[in-house]
Structure 1
Amino acid sequence: MLAEEHFQSKSDFDLIGSVDGMTRAQFIQVYAAWLLCLGRYGELKAREEAEKKKEEGVSVQKTLEFERKLKVASEWLAVREKEMLELKTDVEGLKGKLQKLDKDKTDLEARVVERAVEKKEAETGKENHGYAMLEIGFERARKQAEFFYPDLKFDNLDPIKVVHNGALVDDDEVDVEGGGDHDPENGAA
């Protein structure tokens, strides 16, 4: 009724009526196949668009996930770069301390050498001082002996000589175990 009132004109009705039933059936089949193709095309197109939107959604999700991971990795990298910078600063500070310690070590080694030389000089000076004191004391004793005994000659007295077997000899020539006149512990000369 809708077709008769609105879409089908008298000329269309007459045209359809002039064609036999077989032709009409074939036309309807062709027309139905064409409608079926249009419907299938629309269905496939809609499915393709849905897949495309789904892929775009997945792609957007992947992009967002990738950007999130990239942000996390960038933050991690920034923290590591900061730590690396701090470590480099620490290393430079330690290098400076090491150089100072090396210099201090060199200075201390030089001072040790100086102190060793001073010690050796002091020991030598002490020994020389001991000899000088011995000589001064010996000279005082000789002068006192000359004062008390002016007739005796003390010219042959020598502070480094000792009496051994009735002779005046150097101290290092005396055999300490052999005995003789030299007995420092009992005061014998």
Structure 2
Amino acid sequence: MQVYVARLFCLSRYDELKAWDEGVSMQKTLELEKKLKVASEQLAVREKEMLELKTDVEGLKGKLQKLDKEKTDLEARVVELAVEKKEAKTSKENHGYAMLEIGFERARNQAEFFYPDLKFDNMDPIKVVHNGALVDDDKVDEEGGGDHDPHDDAAA
């Protein structure tokens, strides 16, 4: 009978250990399931964030293309404005020359009015008197001389 009681005791201890092991195993399974659930939730959040980022990237690509087009248009406009500025400067210079020509012509007409016997055909708005001769202004600048003032001869 002692053997029989010992066996019953062993079986009862075995069942107890088995139940304890199943409890531990069940507890580990529950913990792992909780961790799996948390990881799945985090994965879902990350996937949602990634989808949002992909959408943002596509939107930014569209904006970049639009800005590149605007940049190209603005660069073309800058070139156009530079050409217009140069044309305006040339026009201004030409206008200045035209005004000089008109003023010179008026002075010549007035001189012809006061001195009708003199010929003013050789007068040229671009020429200057230098060393007793009528020469181009550029030649005088190259030689380093200045304009000859006929009043200086009278004062001397």
TM over 0.5: yes
Could you tell me which residue of structure 2 aligns to residue 79 of structure 1? Answer: 45
Residue 137 (1) aligns with residue 97 (2): no
Deviation at 1:156, TM superposition (A): 0.9
Unaligned 5+ residue runs, structure 1? 1-34, 184-189
Q: Aligned Cα RMSD in Å? A: 2.2
Aligned residue pair count: 149
Give the TM-score taking structure 2 as reference length.
0.81
| Counterpart contact for 2:126–2:136, Cα < 8 Å | yes
Q: Aligned pair in 2 of structure 1 residues 88, 149: CA closer, same or farther (>3 Å)?
A: same
Deviations 1:122-155 (A, max 9, x none): 1111111211221222223223333333322111
Could you tell me which residue of structure 1 aligns to residue 126 of structure 2? Answer: 160
Match of 1:123 among 83, 89, 112: 89
Q: Which fold has the larger relative contact order, with Cα–Cα distance below 8 Å and residues 6 or more apart in sequence?
A: 2
CA distance in 1, matches of 2:53, 2:19: 50
Q: Aligned pair in 2 of structure 1 residues 64, 180: CA closer, same or farther (>3 Å)?
A: closer
Unaligned 5+ residue runs, structure 2? 151-156
Matches within 5 A, 1:6-21: none
Q: Aligned pair in 2 of structure 1 residues 182, 55: CA closer, same or farther (>3 Å)?
A: farther
Could you tell me which residue of structure 2 aligns to residue 178 of structure 1? Answer: 145
Moved over 6 A (4+): none
CA distance in 2, matches of 1:64, 1:134: 102
CA distance in 1, matches of 2:100, 2:139: 20
